[in-house]
Amino acid sequence: MSDTQTAPDLLPELSDEYKVAADMRENYQRDGHILLRGLATADEVAAYRQVITSAAQRYNTETRSIEQRDTYGKAFLQIMNLWTKDACVKRFALARRFAKVAADLMGVEAVRIYHDQALYKEPGGGPTPFHQDQYYWPLDTDKTITMWMPLVPISEEVGSMTFATGSHRLGYLATLPISDESEAEFRKYIAARGLKTHTYGAMSPGDATFHAGWTLHGAAGNPTHVMREVMTVIYMASDARVIEPDNPNRKADLETWLPGLKPGDPAASELNPVIWRK
């Protein structure tokens, strides 16, 4: 039973197919990002919002005020791998519908979960600096993708993330974690390379963006009085392998999300089950 006292099997199953057309896959692979409207219905998201937010509140460890935090801490409340702690969240994070979309967009036969993240940007929360997710991941593949789904309406004022289109094709650009420095350096890089940026704007609960692990992206702050509630799931191709960590954050990720594994091993710990296979 989940800590929320909701029986997981009473929640929507999320196993039916969302059709990914050929042009969607082509656009994602060209741009490194895509918005899919209505990946989950309003009723489905309403059911899961309650259990995800409850779990995020229980396992959130951030107690400082926004003013006391650094740039990373001001960007969002970040609560990870809730699927391992709450059976109801597990039903969402391991949903076959979402995993199949991830596999279809990447063009792979099967996907594993890397980890999930609840990302809640508080009222008055700061911007998320430009960064590459895969700077943090000790994986040997470029077949990684993140689903970013709002659980509440996201207004134009708050907006979705901003992506540097095509940046995923440039690979590992710099050893920069999320910081003021990554914002400054990647902004300069985007300008110097003439990369176009794109923000999808307002989103409804159940809409979702997907972006590649190397895609440069950031997000605006939250000037409203409403929490920006977002749930994310990170997927990787099922044949991904572990590489030698080349920065402290990759070393920490190896120990946390790929426990017991060493460089050269398949990225297939007990925390990385295959969610969908063709």
Q: What is the 3-state secondary structure (H, E, C) of the chain?
A: CCCCCCCHHHCCCCCCCCCCCHHHHHHHHHHCEEEECCCCCHHHHHHHHHHHHHHHHHHCCCCCCHHHCCHHHHHCEEEECHHHCCHHHHHHHCCHHHHHHHHHHHCCCEEEEEEEEEEEECCCCCCEEEECHHHHCCECCCCEEEEEEECCCECCCCCCCEEECCHHHHCCCCCCCCCHHHHHHHHHHHHHHCCCEEECCCECCCCEEEEECCCCEEECCCCCCCCEEEEEEEEEECCCEECCCCCHHHHHHHHHHCCCCCCCCECCCCCCCEEEEC
The pLDDT assigned to 125 comes to: 86
Q: How far apart are CA 166 and CA 212, in angstroms?
A: 10
By residue count, the chain amounts to 278
Pairing of strands 110-121, 228-237: antiparallel
pLDDT in tens, 220-258: 989 989 988 999 999 999 999 999 999 999 999 999 999
The residue ranges of the chain whose pLDDT is under 50 are 1-4
Q: Which of 212, 76, 78, 62 is nearest to 135 (CA)?
A: 212
Domains of the chain, with CATH numbers? 19-266 (2.60.120.620)
The pLDDT assigned to 7 comes to: 85
Q: How far apart are CA 274 and CA 123, in angstroms?
A: 36
Residue 187 C-beta-side C-alpha neighbours within 13 Å: 11
Q: How far apart are CA 245 and CA 32, in angstroms?
A: 24
Which residue reads 């999808």 in tokens?
200
Mean pLDDT value across the chain: 94
The pLDDT assigned to 159 comes to: 78
